[in-house]
Amino acid sequence: MSTVIRVENVSKVYQLGKVGTGTLASDIQRTIAKLSGKEDPLLRIGEKYSEDGIHIALRDVSFSVTQGQVLGIIGKNGAGKSTLLKIVSRVTAPTTGKIKMKGRLASLLEVGTGFHPELSGRENIFLNGAILGMTKKEVARKFDEIVEFSGVAKFIDTPVKRYSSGMYVRLAFAVAAHLEPEILIVDEVLAVGDADFQRKCLGKMKDVSSQGRTVLFVSHNMEAVKNLCQEVVLLEKGQVAEIGNPTAVINSYFKRNTLYSSKVIFEEAKAPGNENVKLRKVELQIHDGETLDINHGFDLYFEFELKNDYPEFNFSLNLFSITGEHIFNTVSTVVSAKKGNIKGSCTVPSNLMNSGNYTISIMAVSQRSITLFYFQNVMNFEIFDNRENEKWFGNISGAVRPKLDWKIF
């Protein structure tokens, strides 16, 4: 197997804030000083160019891809995935390093790039094809196929501004799908579009790789990555953290990012609360496992300091999604509490929560009705997805995702 892409020590540095000094005059001043080897006159005395105004999006990234491989690229937002793709597709240049490639490269991200609303579907197919790197001859050869695939044959001579948005996307995708690049880039397509569109994209990816061509697949959807890729690169803060077999790298990604046995302990002086009650500790413990995913339940432990005796005392726990949706409210049993520390825990069973990011808030209540204090957003955590033997990689929606008893007769 030969190597089709080799990324060698690629780094990308962005200047933050203002580009240049903002005015032509001081830019000229600076350039003259630089050329004559003097100090920059616009820097204060003793000041030097600092690294503060610089963002290193990629740092010494190296890897290679062999022909016919589907390589997954994963990482948190801001890890450098998109920057890497931009450099590979030549939209922007690396600051240092080299990328060597064999063959043509195309991206499913560029669906509809350069479509002109005033031109007809036919004219746009040719224009878009050429923008994506096809010659006129190639487009002409595939023209009928493209039209048929798009399903807009009837309107092929109508300006695309008269198309419905669905027709527009279908036509655009049809052009991209009939490119025959040696290297295909797929970025987060599974996050957009309807189910039908996602299925088409995945189908296209499988076709491409089965024909011995190479795919770079960037996604947050670990299920899709696990199922489609032969190798995965994990990026972290612009660096390659791990390369290897999908299951191993994905597990490691979860482990690195999960708030496993995450613990928040407050010192007496800094503890949130008021003269009635103070929060001293919150802890999340995952049941027999290291990664917090939908198949694992977890316990939420907390410890409070009570300043008085409360004959009727209870907790009320609210769980919100990070976007603010109220998922549930659960209330503890009522106890008689003495002044001093009081501990409690709440168990969230496995196969109840949906995957996603959550935050919890706890309320301390007296006499079943009086709020002693409401501790908001005391802890954030993420629950990962974990599916086996599934053919559907899209999101499963809903506030919760309970595993219920089914009987089929």
Q: Does residue 141 belong to the site contacting another protein (CB under 8 A)?
A: no
Tally the C-alpha atoms within 13 A of residue 30's C-alpha that lie toward its C-beta. 12
Tell the smallest beta-carbon distance from residue 70 to another protein (Å).
21
Q: Does residue 338 belong to the site contacting another protein (CB under 8 A)?
A: no
Tell the smallest beta-carbon distance from residue 244 to another protein (Å).
23
Q: Does residue 92 belong to the site contacting another protein (CB under 8 A)?
A: yes
Q: Does residue 289 belong to the site contacting another protein (CB under 8 A)?
A: no
- Helix, strand, coil percentages (3-state) for the chain, rounded to 5, are 25, 35, 40
DSSP-assigned states of every residue in 273-331: B-SSEEEEEEEEEETTSSS-BTT--EEEEEEEEESS-EEEEEEEEEEEETTS-EEEEEE
Q: How far apart are CA 182 and CA 201, in angstroms?
A: 17
Tell the smallest beta-carbon distance from residue 252 to another protein (Å).
29
Contact region with another protein (CB under 8 A), list: 46-54, 69-77, 88-96, 274-282: 88-96
Tell the smallest beta-carbon distance from residue 109 to another protein (Å).
7
Residues forming beta bridges with residue 329, ordered by sequence position: 318
Give the single-character DSSP code of 334.
P
- ∠ Cα 223 226 230 (to 5°): 155
Give residue 228's identity as a one-letter amino acid code.
L
Q: Does residue 35 belong to the site contacting another protein (CB under 8 A)?
A: no
Q: Does residue 89 belong to the site contacting another protein (CB under 8 A)?
A: yes
Q: What is the token pair recorded at 136?
A: 């006129």
Among 59, 69, 74, 86, binds another protein (CB under 8 A): 86
Binding characters for another protein, 107-136, by CB under 8 A (x = yes): x-xx--xx-x-xx---x--xx--xxxx-xx
Q: Are 138 and 175 in contact (CB under 8 A)?
A: no
Among 34, 98, 154, 403, binds another protein (CB under 8 A): 98
Q: Does residue 101 belong to the site contacting another protein (CB under 8 A)?
A: yes
Q: Does residue 339 belong to the site contacting another protein (CB under 8 A)?
A: no
- Residues forming the site for another protein (CB under 8 A): 2-3, 14-15, 19-20, 24, 27, 86-105, 107, 109-110, 113-114, 116, 118-119, 123, 126-127, 130-133, 135-136, 159
